[in-house]
Chains A and B, each alone.
Chain A
Amino acid sequence: MRKSKSLSALIFLAIGLFLLGLSNFVDELRVYQGAQIAVYVIAISSIILLTGYSGQISLGHGALMAIGGYAAVLSYTYWHVPFLIAFTIGALAAALGGFILGMAAARLSGPYLAGTTLALAVGLPSLANQFHILGGEQGLSFDIGEAPKWIANKTGGDFTQYKWFFWVSVVCALATIWFIKNLLQSRFGRTWRAVRGNPSAAALSGINIGRSKVLAFTVSSALAGLAGALLAMLLGLVAPMAFTLTLSFTIVTGAVLAGVTNLAGSIVGAVVLVVIPEFTDAVATHLGGSEKISANLPGLITSVLLILTVIFAPNGPKLHKRKKANN
């Protein structure tokens, strides 16, 4: 066990270094998209943890991302904490929100839970319009600054701010996957799977189902909060429009595309989400460059993919294939 752990740590480190190195060789647009992918990876894996492993559904993770984003920006702006601390505060704030929501969630299941979280996704971001400190529709700006000199100098060349965002997001994403991967192999992970598999059996074997569910919700929310804070960093501001219902649905879609019980699949889901608009842009340009087509096509394609996935590969493309082969 220990041996495989250090091996996988090495693999993670290698992936990280490869990605960071890659950022020197690609165009700034790709660097930015890479950072977007990393943020989606975190958001999607928070859903995978919640839905795939603890069996709870949330359509409101956009709201938890909003809590994380706003908390990070507010603490960065008013308390002048370093940005990594601000991200931590964002994650903790979202965890707190998730804990409270999780208490309610533990009593609900299926469509009721989906409905409750959905309501949150609809309502919460617009709170920003009610309180002046949250900046209204215009939002609050968030600038974590440039990369520290010792990093920028080492890599040489033009170390743009987007590259710095990419580095930060990639490190956070890898750390997140590492954390979840280990968590799922721990007692908590086994407990969650037991509860998801058969709640009655789990309860009979002494698992406190409610507590287990609330814990999963809290951890998942913390990750969503981190993703929200990173999203705010990428956008350079937080505003209600950053955390729309579409975002909540998008990350759920990403999780489903990935195979909702497949943590590594979060990367596939994230890449797909970022590549689709890229692809539709190309198609729209080909068709005559209508802005209306390229603005709406990604939504259509994502929805179609979601439906196809649910019909043909409800457990995600890869897992499904493997199961068939085993039959």
Chain B
Amino acid sequence: MLVHRSTKRGAFTVAIAAVAALAVSALPAQAFSPRSETGVTSTTIKLGITVPLTGAAAPGYNKVPYGMKAYFDYVNDNGGVNGRKIQLVIKDDAYSPILAKSVTNDLILKDKVFALVGTLGTANNEATTKFVNDKGVPRLFVNTGFSGFANVKKYPTTYALFPSYFMEAKAIGGYLADKLPGKKVALLYQDDDFGIDALSGFAQVGTSFAVKIPYASGSQADPTVVGKWITSIVASGADTVVVFGVTSASAAALGGAYKAGLAGKLQWILGSVGADPTTIKAVAPTAMPLLNGAIAASFLPSPSDSADEYVKQFQEINAQYNKGATFDNNVLVGMNAGMLAVQALRAAGATPTRAKLMAALNSQGSTFASAGFAPLGWSKTSHAGYNGYWFGRLAADGSQTPVDGAGKYVLYTTDSSKGAVVKSTITRPAMPAKGLPTN
């Protein structure tokens, strides 16, 4: 017993010493921290991003941060932003809200980033919202189309970039009614805020489905689950399938359908989130023949369209700064967000603060140059980004051409509420010379 007691005391002492050491190690940082804004020094600006680098949703998305980093490196080599180099801290959240919360904690408290940029996933961004709001950290260009993120009251520091899933569902609904009337349509959707946002959009434009198949995020990795999707699709007698999920889910669905001998029997329509051909090729190569003829909604130009000035410039940067990575939609998304971030930082002035950054986005953001075809909607009262889609047909090699023919981008614009779906032409600011913003 005596032995036991003194052991205990010893352990207590060790523990308290350890806690104290941990605590004291934080003191100097606090005591000598410079007066400038968190994450900004005279030579650097630190940004953070959370993305799935591992896990079921990683294929494809794991290329986004490196595309963004490549663009930042390119800008840094050309003078940076007002003399400051951009550092991007990349954190893996495995597409889990729990991990997203913990790595965002690290980004804000440990890495002390100035702003978050391109943080990925609806549920993941939701999970970190409370903390991000409390700390007033700008969260730029979230990589999700959840319509809620445009809400300034609920997400005061968050800026949406992608057209919302609500808009996308409306646009797909409009497209179905316009170009494929009378088809029997099955819907496969991710069963969280992401897919539910879409359900409301479809309901808004009155699209009816022969069957609606929800899937839990992550379950696409399970072949039995995929088998059940295919069975339900076949049982419903559908001839058209709309997929509203991540690319790994589209790939699983296409692969499953191919295995079930459904090649050529279904018209696939893939939402913008789940239509990245390079990822599908990597995950389910056998599904590529099925991809041929699939229709996909997009708001950025096709990554294979080298005639597009943005794509061309980004491809050049990719070849130089992101060695070994095939230029695809993920790289494009990363670079595009990076380019917008650079413009936002420039607009925030020579001594950027978080408040100045957000004020600049509210007042000038809608004029920024970006690869997206639809206009950007940021203002003081709304943080909605792009508001429209074009539809393109995918070929077996993964290239995508507008349904009306090469170069004929027709935009279906709408809003996240009751507005109608409108067909429009494209007006987009020109690519800044050499891809270096001068705003």
Contacts and interface: CB of A to CB of B under 8 A. Distances in A.
B236 interface: no
Contacts of B192: 136-138
Contacts of A326: 3
B92 A30 contact: no
Interface in A231-273: 235-237, 239, 241-242, 258-259, 262-265, 267-268, 271
Interface of A, secondary structure class, is helix
A81 interface: no
Contacts of B134: 160-161
A34 B18 CA distance: 11
Contacts of A161: 134
Interface stretch (A18-26, A100-108, A111-119, A215-223): A18-26
Size band of the interface chain A makes with B: 35 or more
Given A32-B105, A271-B18, A136 B26 contact: no
A138 B29 contact: no
A202 B9 CA distance: 30
Given A143-B130, A242-B98, A268 B15 contact: yes
Given A29-B109, A30-B23, A235-B98, A138 B123 contact: yes
A3 interface: no
A37 interface: yes
B27 A267 contact: no
B110 A264 contact: no
A33 interface: yes
B218 interface: yes
B204 interface: no
Contacts of B16: 15
Nearest to A129: B216
A38 B106 CA distance: 18
B53 interface: yes
Interface string B200-222: 00000000000000001111000
Nearest to B124: A138
Contact of A263 (B8, B96, B98): B8
A236 B23 contact: no
A141 interface: yes
B127 interface: yes
B10 interface: yes
Given A26-B27, A137-B192, A143-B130, A275 B18 contact: yes
A263 B102 CA distance: 28
Interface string A22-46: 1001111110111001000000000
B216 A25 contact: no
Contacts of A292: 53, 92
B131 A137 contact: no
A29 B30 CA distance: 11
A130 B288 CA distance: 32
Nearest to A292: B53
B217 A137 contact: yes
Contacts of B101: 235-237
Nearest to A237: B127
B191 interface: yes
Size band of the interface chain B makes with A: 35 or more
Given A265-B11, A275-B18, A25 B110 contact: no
Contact of B130 (A138, A139, A236, A264): A236
B24 to A, nearest CB: 8
Contact of B97 (A241, A259, A268, A281): A241
Given A32-B105, A264-B11, A241 B216 contact: no
A80 interface: no
B210 to A, nearest CB: 23
B90 interface: yes
B233 to A, nearest CB: 21
Pick from A32, A235, A241, A318 the residue with the most CB of B within 10 Å: A241
A322 interface: yes
Contact of A291 (B22, B90, B96, B131): B90
Contacts of A22: 19-20, 23
Contacts of A10: none
A30 B30 CA distance: 12
A231 B217 CA distance: 23
B6 interface: yes
A92 to B, nearest CB: 24
B177 interface: no
B417 interface: no
Nearest to B105: A32
B54 interface: yes
Contacts of A318: 7, 10-11, 14
Contacts of B109: 27-29, 32
Nearest to B26: A27
Interface in B53-67: 53-54
Interface in B62-103: 90-92, 94, 96-99, 101-102
Interface in A32-68: 32-34, 37
B123 A295 contact: no
Contacts of B131: 236
B193 interface: yes
A241 B123 contact: no
B19 A19 contact: yes
B126 interface: yes
Given A30-B23, A237-B98, A264 B15 contact: yes
A153 B25 CA distance: 27
Contacts of A259: 7, 11
A267 B25 CA distance: 19
Interface string A297-327: 0000000000000000000001100110010
13 contacts: A15-B16, A19-B19, A26-B30, A27-B30, A27-B109, A137-B123, A236-B101, A241-B94, A264-B9, A267-B15, A275-B22, A295-B92, A319-B4
- Would you list the 3 A-B pairs with minimal beta carbon distance, nearest first? A267-B15, A29-B109, A27-B26
Given A32-B109, A237-B97, A278-B22, 14 more contacts: A22-B23, A27-B30, A32-B105, A34-B22, A136-B217, A141-B126, A237-B98, A239-B97, A262-B7, A271-B15, A275-B18, A292-B53, A322-B3, A322-B6
Interface of B: 3-4, 6-12, 14-16, 18-20, 22-23, 25-27, 29-30, 53-54, 90-92, 94, 96-99, 101-102, 105-106, 109-110, 123, 126-127, 130-131, 134, 191-193, 216-219
